[in-house]
Amino acid sequence: MKRLNIGILGFGTVATGVVDLIKENHAEITRRTGYEFAIEKIFVRSMDRDNPYGLSLTTDVNDVLMNPNIDVVVELMGGIEPSLSYIQTALDHNKHVITANKALIATHGNELFKKAAEKGLMLMFEASVAGGIPVIKTLRESLIGNKIESLAGIINGTGNYILTEMKEKGRSFEDALKDAQALGYAEADPTFDVEGIDAAHKLTILASIAFGIPLQFDKVFIEGISSLETEDIQYANQLGYTIKHLGIAKYLPEGIEIRVHPTLIPKSELISNVNGVMNAVLVKANGVGPVLSYGAGAGGKPTASSVLSDLADISRMLDADKAQYVPYLAFQNQALSNAPILPQAEIHTAYYLRIKAVDQPGVLSDITHILAQHDISIELMIQTKSVDDNLANIIMTTHETKEHSILESLRAIEALANIRGKAKLLRIESFRS
């Protein structure tokens, strides 16, 4: 029986899941791959920990990175450093690499892929996006006969849980966040999750694979959910929408949109009904049409499932010619596109606006006049009156327009004497064909 000798960096939740799945599904893995997956060594920060399977642990990372018996190094530590240095060292020592580290791939993937290619090695990262959902393999291999037109994803379970609680139970953002932290869905410092950084890392990877462009995290527009108010969730619901924190990427003739922000989606669309901590990615391609992938976006075993998928792929390609390796970003390295990433001001979509105004004649006329001056067409409008302060909430949705037009009009509206505070702006998307 052939063996695939594995070294693991880190022994947290995902690494434990990898070990568990290898042990539980040993016979199935061997039947499918023809290999025995053998864990040779695990790097840990401290030996004072549980080790129920009696595995070989070490606090010296070089026992993994420079071990001549190890074929594949699996990085499951997270963060940029020392993970980046460890992966570079593993490649220098001719180890294939698997990582679940979306931040590392999004920000340093280009250089790591270059190094891996020069060494003739595989660098796999299925587990870096959407946990157990095989979305990278779908984009990179299953849809190879298609041109990807767009993708949209709920790719952060923490944010999706918070928005689900705000909609279904009327909770405030702060209250829902505290609950998510108590349940272990959110970190003590939730910034990466609720401000969209985690989703932007993942979207960077998906967009690069979908469109054949270099990784460009610094060009992603990012807006979080921490400023969302319960009343906007409720108004969206009245208008027939659900608010989701989406990562959206579109390939257009003038360039590529890559953006993360709260988004109103019609309640009739499948992706608007993905709730709790679950993830989903909707891909639209010119051959197959829309494809929706749904599942657990985090957790030990779901993420470990993707790691084992990468291990299986490596085992099958170990004896193959290096020219037959699947390209890291789905396209041949020399064929990556330099299509421009569009600035957010140039995106074209519909909008939800909530404007607080003094409830008196002429105010609505002033607002609509400014919108008309910027060629913005109103789709529908509702107005509610506050009993406490004699102010009105004016809620509008617009037809599609350029973002710079809506921003310019809002600056003019906010300067009106009878307008109070900043207007609320949210984007609207529909993913029907």
Catalytically annotated residue among 95, 137, 167, 202:
202
Is position 301 annotated as part of the catalytic site? no
First to last CA, the chain: 49
Would you tell me the crossing angle of helices 300-317 and 26-33 to the nearest 10 degrees? 30
**CA-to-CA separations, 182 to 88, 390, 410, in angstroms, rounded:** 37, 39, 38
DSSP annotation of 37: E
Token readout for 93 is 């020592």
167 is known to lie in a ligand binding site: no
Question: CB-based contacts of 175: which residues, under 8 Å, 6+ apart?
Answer: 165
Beta strands in 337-417 (DSSP E): 348-358, 378-385, 391-398, 401-402
2 is known to lie in a ligand binding site: no
Token readout for 426 is 């949210």
**String of DSSP letters for 291-356:** EEEEEE-SSHHHHHHHHHHHHHHHHHHTTS-GGGSPPTTSS-GGG---PPBPPGGG-EEEEEEEEE
Longest dimension (CA), the chain: 83
Residue 89: CB atoms within 10 Å? 17
Contact of 260 with 245, CB cutoff 8 Å? yes
**CA-to-CA separations, 369 to 18, 162, 424, in angstroms, rounded:** 60, 37, 19
Q: Which helix (H) or strand (E) holds 255?
A: strand 255-266
Distance, in Å, from the CA atom of 214 to the CA atom of 364, rounded to the nearest integer, reads 46
Tell me the binding residues.
102, 187
- Which residues are documented as binding site for L-homoserine? 187
As annotated, the active-site residues are 202
As annotated, the binding site for NADPH includes 102
